[in-house]
Amino acid sequence: MTATTTETPGYLAGTWQIDPTHSNVTFSIRHMMVSKVRGSFGEFTGTIVTGQAIADSSVTASIVMNSIDTGNEQRDGHLRNNDFFDIENFPTMSYRSTAIRQDGDDFIVDGELTLRGVTKHVPLKLEISGVGPDAYGGTRIGFEARTEINRQDFGVNWSGALETGGVVVSDKVGIELDIQAVLEVPQA
């Protein structure tokens, strides 16, 4: 797939709103040095503007940090406090693209992630899943994206040392996005 619209079937330039009911924002992190804990965020919003060429597109998104769900309420409560996300002072995490470029058959979305008041460059490896009509007379587009961040870069420093060496949670956090968006305004 290249950065031209003619090679992406159904591609439309326009403004799209992320459909949180049909999208997932998930993460995974190594726990106790032996396995991964996975979680998700249930509340998020975002706008995607697709240009005539894919490289001319942009995205902005915001995630409500209180909506974290790892399947364990005690752990979720710990993640919400000052040891991790400090949601009282930083209730949202946001992402704003700065460029989109082609990388072989894939695309890279260069952008800025803001977490706990710290903004860092975070690229997302992007795949366009498809474009097509929905059952309500609208048009939808799908994206899959993934990246890895170091949580320490964003001031999320709590580690908890293990007696046998190592830490309770690793620094590397894998992030995966499976996004479906609805066309709001087609571009003429």
What's the per-residue H, E or C state across 69-136?
A: ECCCHHHHHHHHCCCCCCCCCCCEEEEEEEEEEEECCEEEEEEEEEECCEEEECCEEEEEEEEEECCC
Number of separate domains in the chain: 1
Give the pLDDT of residue 165.
54
Give the pLDDT of residue 145.
97
Position 162 pLDDT exceeds 50: no
pLDDT in tens, 89-140: 999 999 999 999 998 878 999 999 999 999 999 999 999 999 999 998 999 9
Q: How confident is the model at residue 172 (pLDDT cuts 50, 70, 90)?
A: confident
Residue 151 or residue 116, greater confidence: 116
Tell me what the mean pLDDT of segment 150-164 comes to. 74
Tell me what the mean pLDDT of segment 1-23 comes to. 79
pLDDT in tens, 71-93: 999 989 988 999 889 999 999 99
Structural domain including 133 reads: 5-186
- Euclidean distance between the first and final Cα of the chain, in Å? 23
Q: What CATH number does residue 38 fall under?
A: 2.40.128.110
Question: What is the total residue count of the chain?
Answer: 188
Rounded-to-integer distance, Cα 87 and Cα 105, Å: 38
pLDDT in tens, 33-47: 566 889 999 999 999
Q: How confident is the model at residue 68 (pLDDT cuts 50, 70, 90)?
A: very high
Rounded-to-integer distance, Cα 16 and Cα 40, Å: 22
Give the pLDDT of residue 168.
56
